[in-house]
């Protein structure tokens, strides 16, 4: 476990570093409208991509017995789906009567090129499943890191040459195809499409629920960005996109690591409700010990982070970052809860939770729009709270989760994070002439020291449990 975590940590640090450096440079070469338009294009195509990429990946990983034929049939199915989806993009771009002008028309024209990533995403999902199945996490991390490096380099070169919005689209475009190529080269098994599709049909039920829940989650971003663009324009969506570029890499990578770790622990306990419930409760507490202070720290230092990464012209993104980060802190428990539900064979609950979050985001943005751009961050926070409440109630019914125990552990860690934020706010009130990077360093050091002291004084047992999870004590013979 520790070896896998080390590989994941190196991958996470490398990718976050690349994304931070890329965002710093892009923010100074391009404007909010470029960010807003690229974000709309990426999120539209991304939602369509989810239909193909999430249909078989989890099913291939979780299935008790799997043959090469399952992977080949799944590859054929996702490539066929991608062809249909890309054809839909071309048809809508050519004939849609509503796309006569504005952001929708521009996004559709960009999607006719960017939509080619559907094919890379589809094939990559099968190769990722194969890598996870064979525990080749190092190959997966290396491919992701090198792919992002290549995409960032091409994107920055395009921006420097005046490519505008195409520079931002080049990053994921090049990254996806390069990552796929590296995975194919590093995979000892060669997969070719197959006309025998019966193995794919065996995985449709689980994969179908998982795909639907992932699609609804992706569509939530479509709805959020579409409503933000409607109320605040493409430029407003650009400020939202900048906030997401700061928070989402941390949320996505930490969520992926939490999900994979939890899956490894929960899968053997799927038939034992009491042990599963205890494992979920313990994992929520241990992950919160790391993730809650991380995201609360991002929320507290948001103005300084924004100055360092994007500069003073992007100050409108600061309040959005605060609420997106707090929503991510809450979502750390949600990820573990849903992984436990999936271990019990209930991906349908994940789907219901995603629908609740979608509806909550839409209603919240409409109602909170008079508050300004901060409505987007507030809506995400409210939706995360609604999803967490629903998942907790479902987990209590399915495998007997002790909600009171979970709330007490989260409250204790949250109190430590709150105590951490007080000295950080004190640092922010000091000399404002200090260079942003030095101020951020001081804020992070102060917050980390305060949190470490608070945890050491109040959460020693939980800290010991996390240490034993990462470094298991030697067995006594």
Q: Give the pLDDT of the chain (477 residues) as one tens digit per residue.
A: 455 556 666 777 788 888 889 988 999 899 898 999 999 999 999 999 988 887 777 777 766 677 787 788 888 888 999 999 999 988 887 776 555 556 667 777 888 999 999 999 999 988 888 887 777 777 888 888 899 999 999 999 999 999 999 999 999 999 999 999 999 888 887 877 777 676 666 666 666 677 777 788 888 989 999 999 999 999 999 999 999 989 988 887 777 666 666 666 676 666 677 777 777 788 888 888 888 999 999 999 999 999 999 888 898 999 999 999 999 988 877 777 777 776 676 767 778 888 999 999 999 999 999 999 999 999 999 998 998 888 888 888 877 777 887 888 888 888 999 999 999 988 888 766 778 889 899 999 999 999 999 999 888 888 887 777 666 666 554
Rounded CA separation 173/186 (Å): 21
pLDDT for the residue 477 = 47
Half-sphere exposure of 321 (CA within 13 A, CB side): 29
Instruction: Give how far Cα 408 sits from Cα of 16, 173, 296, 392, 411, Å.
Output: 32, 44, 18, 14, 5
Q: What is the CA radius of gyration of the chain?
A: 22
Going by the DSSP 8-state scheme, the letter that residue 373 receives in this structure is T
CB count within 10 Å of CB 129 equals 22
Tokens of 373: 């751009």
pLDDT for the residue 361 = 94
Rounded CA separation 475/477 (Å): 6
Tokens of 178: 């390069």
Question: Per-domain residue ranges for the chain?
Answer: 1-202, 211-470
Q: CB within 8 A of 469, min separation 6: which ones?
A: 1, 286
Number of helices (H), then strands (E), in the chain? 18, 0
């Amino acid at each position: 476990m520790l070896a896998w975590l080390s590989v994941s940590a190196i991958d996470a640090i490398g990718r976050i570093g690349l994304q931070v450096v890329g965002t710093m440079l892009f923010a100074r070469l391009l404007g909010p409208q470029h960010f807003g338009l690229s974000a709309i294009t990426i999120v539209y195509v991304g939602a369509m991509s989810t239909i193909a990429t999430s249909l078989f990946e989890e099913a291939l990983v979780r299935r008790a017995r799997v043959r090469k034929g399952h992977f080949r049939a799944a590859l054929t199915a996702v490539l066929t789906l991608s062809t249909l989806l890309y054809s839909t993009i071309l048809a809508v771009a050519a004939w849609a009567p509503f796309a006569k002008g504005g952001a929708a028309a521009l996004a559709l024209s960009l999607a006719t090129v960017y939509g080619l990533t559907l094919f890379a995403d589809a094939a990559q999902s099968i190769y990722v499943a194969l890598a996870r199945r064979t525990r080749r996490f190092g190959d997966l991390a290396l491919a992701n890191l090198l792919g992002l490096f290549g995409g960032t380099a091409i994107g920055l070169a395009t921006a420097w040459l005046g490519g505008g919005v195409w520079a931002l689209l080049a990053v994921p475009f090049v990254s996806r195809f390069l990552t796929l190529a590296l995975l194919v080269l590093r995979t000892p098994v060669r997969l070719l499409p197959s006309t025998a599709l019966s193995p794919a049909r065996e995985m449709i039920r689980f994969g179908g629920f998982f795909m639907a829940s992932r699609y609804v989650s992706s569509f939530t971003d479509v709805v959020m960005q579409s409503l933000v663009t409607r109320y605040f324009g493409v430029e407003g969506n650009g400020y939202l996109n900048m906030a997401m570029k700061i928070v989402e890499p941390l949320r996505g990578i930490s969520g992926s690591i939490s999900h994979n770790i939890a899956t490894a622990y929960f899968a053997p306990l799927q038939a034992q409700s009491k042990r599963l419930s205890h494992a979920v409760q313990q994992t929520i507490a241990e992950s919160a010990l790391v993730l809650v202070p991380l995201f609360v720290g991002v929320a507290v230092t948001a103005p300084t982070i924004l100055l360092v990464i994007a500069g003073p012209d992007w100050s409108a993104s600061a309040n959005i970052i605060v609420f997106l980060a707090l929503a991510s802190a809450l979502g750390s428990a949600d990820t573990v809860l849903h992984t436990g539900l999936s271990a019990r064979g209930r991906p349908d609950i994940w789907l219901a939770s995603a629908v609740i979050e979608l509806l909550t985001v839409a209603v919240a943005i409409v109602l909170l729009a008079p508050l300004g751009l901060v409505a987007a961050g507030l809506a995400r926070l409210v939706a995360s709270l609604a999803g967490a409440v629903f998942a907790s109630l479902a987990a209590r019914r399915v495998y007997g989760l002790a909600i009171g125990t979970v709330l007490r552990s989260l409250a204790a860690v949250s109190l430590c994070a709150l105590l951490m934020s007080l000295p950080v706010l004190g640092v922010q009130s000091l000399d404002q002439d200090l260079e942003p990077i030095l101020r951020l360093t001081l804020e992070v050091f102060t917050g980390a020291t305060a949190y470490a002291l608070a945890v050491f004084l109040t959460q020693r047992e939980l800290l010991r449990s996390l240490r034993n999870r990462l470094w298991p004590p030697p067995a006594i013979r």
